[in-house]
Homo-oligomer: A and B are copies of this chain.
Amino acid sequence: MKKKILLTLAYDGTHYAGFQVQPDAPTVQAAVQDAIEQIYLCRPDVTGCSRTDAGVHARDYKLMFVTDDTMPKIPAERIPAALNTVLPRDIAVLFAEEVPMCFHVRHDVYEKEYEYIVWNSAVRDPFSADRAYLFRRPLDADALNAAGEAFVGTHGFRGFVAAGAVIAATVRTVRSVSVRREGKRVIFAIAADGFLYNMVRIFVGTMLAVAEGKIPAESLPDVIASRDRSRAGMTVPACGLYLNRVEFRRDAFDSDRKENTDCECR
């Protein structure tokens, strides 16, 4: 009998060329497949909730794979410890659970949240190398928090996608934006039903342009509506970006739902 297993991972993406398998480059996906192979003695496909870029981190990454009767039976609650013994130190399985075969780790996402950490100080932090972006000019987190409201809602984010990316549908619903200060860290959080390629990094670059006075806060609705990449800010480096939370649709874990047209098991 087939069983679908959903893993929750955390990883430090510094030494990986992103999540998705690539030839001749270490990836999180390949590392997890290697670990599964060591434990299960076969190499099932694993499907992740998103393609994170090289250097991007995750505190709550979701990944699924399917086991069958030819594979060792490992109770879900024992899977994290088993995989963690063979995974590299910069990847950990936080949780494992069996989910209905209908469940899909990408199609059933209701909301994702990313955080972007800026180390806001004249002096770089030795502990934040590869884990935050150094921005020396003092930031007013409260002002940015207010400015960020412009992004909330359903918009076409054509102007917030990497130049050259071919994406048909650019409408996304941003459910919340917040900017807060924790000591010398300024943390940008953005939650949406989905994100375009580089959208969070361009969002943060645009917010930093607002902080520098290069883009007036009150023009942000126009910048978004213009759908013009050149009017938004720079793409900030990957090192500050964390996939922070992934939430699924309420009915994602119902084994008898009918309406899921994306279901792999039909």
Contacts and interface: CB of A to CB of B under 8 A. Distances in A.
A94 B184 CA distance: 13
Contact of A123 (B90, B93, B125, B127): B93
Protomer copies: 2
A60 interface: no
A57 interface: yes
A203 interface: no
A127 B89 contact: no
A126 interface: yes
A109 B126 CA distance: 24
Contacts of A100: none
The range of chain A's interface size is 20 to 34
Nearest to A129: B89
Interface string A44-73: 000000000000010000000000000000
B124 A89 contact: yes
A93 B123 CA distance: 8
Interface in A116-133: 122-127, 129, 131
B80 A123 contact: yes
A85 to B, nearest CB: 10
A92 interface: yes
A18 to B, nearest CB: 15
A246 B107 CA distance: 53
Contacts of A81: 122
B125 A92 contact: yes
A12 interface: yes
A145 interface: no
A81 B134 CA distance: 14
A11 interface: yes
A7 to B, nearest CB: 12
26 contacts: A10-B125, A10-B126, A10-B127, A11-B126, A12-B126, A12-B127, A12-B129, A57-B127, A80-B122, A80-B123, A81-B122, A84-B123, A84-B124, A89-B124, A89-B126, A89-B129, A90-B126, A90-B129, A91-B126, A92-B123, A92-B124, A92-B125, A92-B126, A93-B123, A94-B123, A127-B131
Interface of A: 10-12, 57, 80-81, 84, 89-94, 122-127, 129, 131
Across the A-B interface, give the 5 residue pairs with the lowest CB-CB distance, nearest first.
Answer: A89-B129, A12-B126, A90-B126, A92-B126, A11-B126
Given A11-B126, A12-B129, A84-B124, 12 more contacts: A10-B125, A10-B126, A10-B127, A12-B126, A81-B122, A89-B124, A89-B126, A89-B129, A92-B124, A92-B125, A93-B123, A94-B123
